[in-house]
Amino acid sequence: MTNNEQFSRNGMPPVALSRRRFVQGVAAGGLLAGLGLPTRPARASEFGTGGEVLKGTNIDLSIAPLGVNFTGAPATAIAVNGQVPAPVLHLREGDEVRLRVKNATPDLAAIHWHGLLLPATQDGVPGISFAGIKPGETHTYAFKLRQHGTYWYHSHAGFHEPKGVYGALIVEPREGPTIRADRDYVVVLSDWSDEEPAAIFDNLKKQADYYNFSQRTFFDFTKDVAEKGLGATLDDRLMWGAMNMTPTDIADVTAYTYTYLMNGKAPAEGWSALFRPGERIRLRFINASSMTYFDVRIPGLKMKVVAADGNDVEPVSVDEFRMGVAETYDVIVEPEDDRPYAVFAQSMDRSGYAFGTLAPRAGMRAKVPAMDPRPMLTMADMGGMAGMSGMSGMQDMSGVTEASPMGGNNAGMAGMSHAGGMHGMDASGGKVMPAAAMIEVTHPASEDGPGAVMQPSSVSLTYSDPGPGLRKKGRRVLTYADLRGVNKVPVTRDPDREIELHLTGNMERYMWSFNGVKFSDADPIHMRYGERVRVRLVNDTMMAHPIHLHGMWSEIDNGQGDHRPLKHTVNVNPGHAIDYFVNADAPGGWAYHCHLVFHMDAGMFRKVSVS
């Protein structure tokens, strides 16, 4: 069966539209008349998204179907106030806000205010913090804004989020800007499919690599034999077979069904924003996608990272950064030349990209950069493999290579006190991790079932690894080791206790969980109000996972002392562990989950109860 025939079977546009058309989308705009659904014209606006910006302390939002065309074929989205992405909410720190949300869909609806510190009853997760918004009803959220920065809001009901219910939420500092900029733009990255999300999920349950057309071939086998020898090549294939995975399992859902959007614009049209040479431009990047990690760069411009997940950090100059799903990063760029610059966000699996242009004059379009080669995982990304599917284990393969969890290209990498060994200094005076930052791990008995195929005996505990596909590329890539908060963390005492959670999965059966137990079979995680908890996440899988704890900060233990960065979403690379502190200062029930929507729906979800 050809790729085009598969698209047709999945309800995708007919064969006449090429794969390039799918990846790049259409240049006619994202909204469509002719389905009997409301439409809304795009227009210029504050923050440069082309959509509505809502201000004040009393705001009305309506969730309803909307006709769209991102790929060249009509489809139906679920929109907020008639637009995808949803309107930018421009609020002010310290204000008491009331947000009235009307559900004009036939299904249960909800809005979650991602990253905001608020009462649990206002968090917007059906079954955890409230009952949800029934069809035809209006629900009022009311809370005080206790922070400033770049955040976002999205549905937490069914599959409304991948259908379009997501938007930027900008909270201005009450005492005025903390970061100086001449222009301020929001950049919302997302993924869109004409397929219904439920159909995509069903396809993954039937065949986990359904959308992965980048499988290794016989020619790859012969090439590996020539380079490594027959024995080593066969051993490699057998080990991957034992895991029921392939080294191309970078993303579950790819550009074979997704079109990647920047502020609601497909690459063929592209988003654009203006600048004058010499200005300081603030770009507020938000990864509002359902399943896609993006690697962001602006060729020809250094990006100075000034905020992560809404919190100001000491500026870090980079060429590129990776965005896990739900993360936000604010950067400052200072274009000097009178020419257009590409804003380029390629998917982690390199199957497609979102695209925009920073231009000195309207109508200018930058050249689309070439995409990087498709990354390939190796067994080194899993560290020690003992106990996995009956395998006897393998040696630690951590060398400084693209395939290695220790491979990096960054000067100035911060060490980790719990990684084992002391960190040294490179020639430029930056900290570097030791050659072996591996830790041994044990696994709970609950992982012995079918939900946890892989059980590595050791993983890498380091924050200086940019991740698969970004190592040794000759570009300065942001890592968690680079993040140092401008403000001191509010509590610095030793933790009262520790919690270790394993991110587990069975790719062949598309099962995802914590500790091998899916949400429907799991007990809540209990925290005592006022306690300080050290959390260790251990990724037992070959995929990266963005883990989001609602209601409380995740304080990354990256070696920055009392200036550790505060994040609401934490990316955990394959075969890695990450440590962070949580101050249990928010009573009530909170969601805790992988932000890949189909992983969450498959069971990588917990309830955290603070009392």
Predicted confidence (pLDDT) per residue in 215-252, tens digit:
545 455 465 556 667 776 556 555 655 555 566 678 99
Question: What digits encode the pLDDT tens for the residues 432-458?
Answer: 433 448 899 999 999 999 999 888 889
pLDDT at 394: 33
What does the pLDDT average to over 178-187? 97
In this predicted structure, the answer to whether residue 531 has a pLDDT above a threshold of 90 is yes
Q: How confident is the model at residue 430 (pLDDT cuts 50, 70, 90)?
A: very low
Question: What digits encode the pLDDT tens for the residues 166-182?
Answer: 999 999 999 999 999 99
CATH number (2.60.40.60, 3.40.50.1820, 3.90.550.10, 2.60.40.420) of 3-180 reads 2.60.40.420
In this predicted structure, the answer to whether residue 392 has a pLDDT above a threshold of 80 is no
What does the pLDDT average to over 556-563? 96
In this predicted structure, the answer to whether residue 136 has a pLDDT above a threshold of 90 is yes
Q: How many CB atoms lie within 10 A of CB 231?
A: 9
pLDDT at 454: 86
Q: Does domain 388-611 have CATH number 2.60.40.420?
A: yes
Is 3-180's fold the same as 388-611's?
yes
Entry field: residues in the chain: 611
What does the pLDDT average to over 37-49? 58
Q: How confident is the model at residue 595 (pLDDT cuts 50, 70, 90)?
A: very high
Domain boundaries, the chain: 3-180, 388-611
Strands 511-514, 497-506: pairing is: antiparallel
| Range with the poorest average pLDDT among 35-44, 213-222, 263-272, 287-296 | 35-44
Exposure pattern of 336-369 as b/e (b: 16+ CB <10 Å)? eeeebbbbbbbbbbbbbbbbbbbbbeeeeebeee
What does the pLDDT average to over 359-386? 81
Secondary structure (3-state) at 384: strand
What does the pLDDT average to over 133-139? 98
Contact between 484 and 576 under an 8 Å Cβ cutoff? The reply is no
pTM comes to 0.85
In this predicted structure, the answer to whether residue 405 has a pLDDT above a threshold of 70 is no
- Between the two ends of the chain, the Cα-to-Cα distance in Å is 55
Contact between 63 and 78 under an 8 Å Cβ cutoff? The reply is yes
Residues 6+ apart with CB under 8 A from 78: 63, 64, 65, 66, 105, 155, 160, 163, 164, 165
Higher-confidence residue of 508 and 125: namely 125
3-state secondary structure labels for all residues of 501-517: EEEEEECCCCEEEECCE
Q: How confident is the model at residue 30 (pLDDT cuts 50, 70, 90)?
A: low
Higher-confidence residue of 46 and 561: namely 561
Q: How far apart are CA 53 and CA 379, in angstroms?
A: 47
What does the pLDDT average to over 26-42? 48
Question: What digits encode the pLDDT tens for the residues 110-125?
Answer: 999 999 999 999 999 9
Structure-block tokens of residue 409? 């290209």
Contact between 536 and 547 under an 8 Å Cβ cutoff? The reply is no
Residues 6+ apart with CB under 8 A from 268: 24, 25, 26, 27
Q: How confident is the model at residue 377 (pLDDT cuts 50, 70, 90)?
A: confident
Q: How much is the mean pLDDT over the chain?
A: 84
